[in-house]
Every structure is written in structure tokens, then in C-alpha cells.
Structure 1
């Protein structure tokens, strides 16, 4: 006997599966948002004060990067989760979704531009150390940071108009408000040509040149017996992970965006979810490769933890062996180191010590 399928049960099963998938996606987004927020808060606590090896200009750029990364956890994720809870999926595009999509695209673009400006500043510091103070003045530094934050606002402004050239819809697959790039292929391709490709070219060229220079210098030092073979390769430890993480996080998202615009079809549900949210993980990984891998940063963070523990919970500090005397000696050593570093006007962040292999 042939039994016809129970459509109501099938619908209930599909609905339950959708709820399960949605719960799993929301959990992943929340965990990622917490990791990004906590990681960048720790970074802000450190780089708002002086750190050995980082000049004033370097701190400006790194503060800009930290602010852009923090926006992933403090702005992008709450906005999209709020829309996913409030919006009726049967409704069409609305003004709120356009605003959220504009915020998403702006923060993503600002992060890429900021990464490119950091690579450019490090390139100048390594190859033009004597002209660094002239080329990277405070005014030019702030102008580059302002460009990284303001140009995306102008470039992506068409997304904000509900009846404009770009349509926006809420995606159940990725739980974000996505622009329908297939409605305007030319605009989509122009965005990638003005954002992703220029930033990628600048980062790749600058970091590759610095890596090659560091490798040549390392070989020279080995030749004259000035460097130990067992010493860590700073260039490989910093530059290679930075570029690998950048392309891993951003390339799939850009590729899917171009594919959707050209073909007019969408990718599978979980593929869309991964490629849309993968760039936000760059906001957490930047904390590791730009900050935690730097010894001076870790020392300064340790100092801040000691200060907080001594002021908020002296008993816990004593239990951990952070007595007032030992902390004072530790603080004195850090401050003496920082006072010497302030005299170096052309110093930059962790990779600016590549040529000296410090």
C-alpha cells in the first residue's frame, strides 16, 4: 500500500530543523562577538598608554584597527541579531535593513582600509627610517585614518536608500541584512575594485617587501656570525600569519559576493553563513597577530593586570604573588624601558624590529 507523505509533519520537521540551525548560528555569532569584544578591550587597555617599540603614529593606526575590530562585536553582531529577532521574514526590504546593511559594509570596508594603512606605515618605517618623521607626520597619519573611516561612508551611501540602486533583504541563511548585489553588477564590481583589490595589493606588496628585506638581513647576520640559527624568524612569525589570515577571512566573502552578482544565484545555506561571518573573526585574530605576539605588549598587559589586582582585590594579588614591592619593581622596569623608546621617533609596531631581528 502506497502511503502519501504527511505534509503537516514534513512542515513541522522542516520548521524544527530551521530552528535548530538558527539556534546554532546565533550561538556561534554570540561566542564570536564575545571573543572579539573581550580581546579588543584588553588591547585598548594597553595601547591607550605607551608601549615599548611603538611610536605615536603606530599607536594611532593600531587604535584605529582596534576600533574597527571592536565594531564587529559591539555594533555589527547586535544589529543583525536584533533584526533577526524583530523582523518578520515574510516582509520585504525596509529602512532598518538598509541601515544595518550599510553599517555592515562600512565596518568591513574600514577594517580592510585600516589594515592597508598599517602595512603602508610599516613599509615606510622599514625602508625609509630616516625620512619617516617627514613622510609620516601626525597630520598625514590622521588623514590616512580619516580616509579609512570616511571614504567607505561615501562609497557605500547608495545602500542606505530603500528605493535606490541596491536592494537589501534579510537572509535567513546568514542572519544578516545583505545587499542584493545581483541587481547591480556594475556597482558590485566597482566596490571590489575600490576596496578589496587595492587593499590586498597594498598589503601584499608592502609585507612581501618587508619580509624579503628581513630575510636578506637575516642571511647577512648569519654569514657574519651575528645571529643564531636557532633564533625565531620574526618575519615568518608575524607577516606570514597576518597575510594568511587576511586572505583566508576576506577572499571567500568577496568571491561569493562576485559570484552572486554575476550568476544571480545563491550559494548553499551554511556556505553563505560561513563566508559572511568569517571576516568578523579577523577582528579577533588581529588581536593575536598584531598584539599578543609582541613581547612588550604582553609585558604591559601583565603590568595592567597587576595594577588592577592590587587596586581591586589585594588578597587575590597576594595569593598570586603580586606583592606591592615586586609590582613596584616590575612597573619601574617597564617605565624605564618606555622612556627610552619615546626617543625613537621612527619606531613602529612589532614588525618594525624585523631588520634588527629584535
Structure 2
């Protein structure tokens, strides 16, 4: 009688432990899904606002600059409109207790392609800025419309070719659904050579181009600022545009992308995994760069904010005139505002502009 009672208590204890682990797992899962959804909404809304502005003329932004920035906006929007919904759908509706399938390979391919395209696009923007600053007279020859579109096509098509092996279920790369990060992840330890080649062809080249181009532009802006200050052409309390833009851009890039690449290389070489929450953070951290790009490339630009304010006025006047009147956005004031913006755009629209991030002339 005593042994039977003891056995029942032991089973009850084991069931309680299993239930506690299950509740904890569901709690972690709910928190992760909430974080992903909030991040996806922020990225989507931020890039929709950006798209509304840069599809029209913005003072100081050339046609080529808008092409590159549109490409960046499309890549960042894919985080919120493609990567997050696909992985959430897989995590909520699919049961991966039996292992990966073709769908998970396709989702993993989409994830890797969007990540790679974003990095390539950031590198091409830095390259365009570098050419505009150091070769302004040759800019129209070096950065023709055809070459600009070819560069953009490369940033979108080359990752498709480079990452195509991930799509094959019986290929050189295994894919599994990770319950830690809620993502269809390639098992990079299954092919170390391929993993290292990806980092050598994507992350490191893009990082080198971005670092070199932005560092050169920042140094040039600093030298010009010192010269202007020396001859009394610049106020001492004038904001340092280069430091305010280029430094945060590079800091955000390395903060978001380096941990992910480091963990990927570590897992491939050591053939081991990292703790659950570390994996979740490093996998989803690069997507936050899609929102930070909206802040650093667009919202700190005065011309962008003015144009967005104009668009809000137009939408308010078209949808809800009463709301426009409440904010003082009358038809007369809006028409004057539109005229001023368009005149300013025609004056500042130039072929060799330095996009929205660092125009050396603005330091004067």
C-alpha cells in the first residue's frame, strides 16, 4: 500500500514538472511572437511613410539617389511584409515534430535572400555617396541611369543565385524550424564551407565597402568643416551633419548584423547551438535595421520631414477636411506650402547629389 502511494506521487510530480515546462514554453513563445509582431508593424509603417515621400521629388535628392533609396525601402519592407508573416505562419500552423519539409526550405530561402539584399543595398548606397562626394564632375558619367538600375538589379538577383541551394530539400544545406527563434533556419553546420563562403561573399564585402566609403566621406566632411570654421564661414554651434548621420548608420549596421554573422560562423565551426534567447535575439536583430534605416536615412533629414508634413496635409484635406481645419491646414496655406516645396525641389535637384545622408555643401 505504501509503495503504491509513493509511485502515484512520483508520477504526479513528473506530470507537474512537465506541465510547468509546457506553460513556460508557451509563455516564451507568446512573448517572442509579440515582439516579432510589434517589430513588423514598426518596420512596415515606417517604410510606408518613407515610400510615400521618396516616390515624389525631395529637395537635395537626385533621381539616382531615389532609385537606391527605393530599393532600400523595398528590402526593409520585405522584413515586415514577407519574412515575419512567413515565419509566424510556419510557427503557428505547422507541426515540425517530424522534421523539415519543402515549405521550410522555401521560407529559409526567402529569409536569407531578404537579409542579403538589404546588406547589398546598404553597400550600394554607400558607394553612390562616395562617388558623389569625391567625383562630382564625373558622377553623371560614372552613375548613369543604366548603371544605377544594373546595380540595383545585382543587389536583388545575385542573392537569389547565391542562396538557391537552400531551396532544395535534399541539397547541400539542411533546414530545420527552430523553436528558439521561430524561424526556418539553414543548418549551417551541415556544410561549413558553404557557410563560410556566404559570409565571404555577402557580409564581409558589404561591410568593407560601407566602412571605407562612409569613413572617407566622414573624414572629408570633417576637413571641410574645419576649413569653414577656420575662415569664419561656419558657426561653431552648427550641427555636424556627417557625424550625426554616418556614425549612427554604421553603428546600427554593425550592431544589428555582426552578432548574427558571428553566431552563424560559431555554430558552423563548433557544430553546436547557442542558448534559446541568444538565438532569438541574434536572428531577429537584423530586421530591426529595417526600422533604424528609416530613422537615420530619412527622418533626420529636414527636407524629408517637410515633404512628409505636406503629404499629411494633402491626405487630411482629401479625407477629412474637418481634421485639417482643426490643425490649421487650410487650402490656402497648403497651396503655399506645396509651391515652396516644389520650387525648392527644382532648385536643389541635381545629378551629383549625395542622397539624403551627407551632403557636404549642407555643412556650409
TM-score if structure 1 supplies the norm length? 0.96
Match of 1:347, SS state, is coil
Q: 1:3 to 1:80 in 2, by over 3 A?
A: farther
Give the match's secondary structure for 1:356: helix
Deviation readout 1:1-35 (Å, 9 max, x if unpaired): 9999x566556555650000000000000000000
1:172 CA displacement: 0.3
Question: Is 1:119–1:207's contact at 8 Å kept on the other side of the alignment?
Answer: yes
2:280 counterpart of 1:273: yes
Residue 285 of structure 1, CA deviation:
0.4
State whether residues 33 and 73 of structure 1, in contact with CA within 8 Å, keep that contact through their aligned partners in structure 2: yes
Q: Cα gap change, 1:11/1:136 in structure 2, threshold over 3 Å: closer, same or farther?
A: farther
SS state at 2:2 partner: coil
* Aligned 8 A contact 1:125 1:352 in 2: no
> TM-score normalized by structure 2?
0.94
Query: Where do 4+ consecutive residues of structure 1 move more than 3 Å?
Result: 1-4, 6-16
1:258-304, CA deviations, whole angstroms, 9 ceiling, x for partnerless residues? Answer: 00000000000000000000000000000000000100000000000
Give per-residue Cα distances to partners, 1:197-254, cap 9 Å, x unaligned: 0000000000000000000000001110100110001011000000000000000000
Is this contact kept in 2: 1:101–1:168, CA < 8 A?
Answer: yes
SS of the aligned residue for 1:351 comes to coil
- Does residue 1:345 correspond to 2:359, yes or no? no
Aligned match of 2:313: 306
User: Structure 1 residues 19 and 2 mapped into 2: Cα distance closer, same or farther (>3 Å)?
Assistant: farther
CA–CA distance in structure 1, aligned partners of residues 233 and 272 of structure 2: 58
Post-superposition offset of 1:353: 1.4
How far did residue 351 of structure 1 move? 2.8
SS in 2 for 1:352: coil
Q: Which residue does the alignment assign to 1:240?
A: 247
Distance, in Å, in 2 between the alignment partners of 1:184 and 1:139 is 38
**Is the Cα–Cα contact under 8 Å of residues 109 and 164 in structure 2 kept in the other structure?**
yes
Structure 1 residue 89: Cα displacement: 2.9
Q: Structure 1 residues 276, 3: CA separation in 2 closer, same or farther (over 3 Å shift)?
A: farther
Query: CA-to-partner distance for each residue in 1:165-221, whole Å, 9 max, x for gaps?
Result: 000000000000000000100000000000000000000000000000000000001
Contact 1:39 1:284 (C-alpha < 8 Å) held by counterparts? yes
How far apart in 1 are the matches of 2:183 and 2:177? 6
CA distance in 2, matches of 1:96, 1:355: 51
Q: Residue 352 of structure 1: CA displacement? A: 3.9
Segments of structure 1 that go 5 or more residues without pairing to the other structure are none
Cα separation, 1, equivalents of 2:324 and 2:135: 45
Contact residue 213 and residue 355 of structure 1 kept, 8 A = no
Distance in 2, Cα, partners of 1:210 & 1:311: 42
Counterpart secondary structure, 1:125:
helix
CA shift in 2, pair 1:174/1:7, >3 Å: farther
Q: Is the CA contact 2:58–2:345 (under 8 Å) kept in the aligned structure 1?
A: no
Distance 1:342 1:241 in 2: 25
| CA distances 1:128-156 after superposition (whole Å, capped 9, x unpaired) | 00100000000000000000000000000
1:199 is aligned, of 206, 231, 234, to: 206
- Using a 3 Å threshold, how does the CA distance of structure 1 residues 343 and 47 change in structure 2: closer, same or farther? closer
Q: Cα distance 1:176–1:216, how it changes in 2: closer, same or farther (>3 A)?
A: same
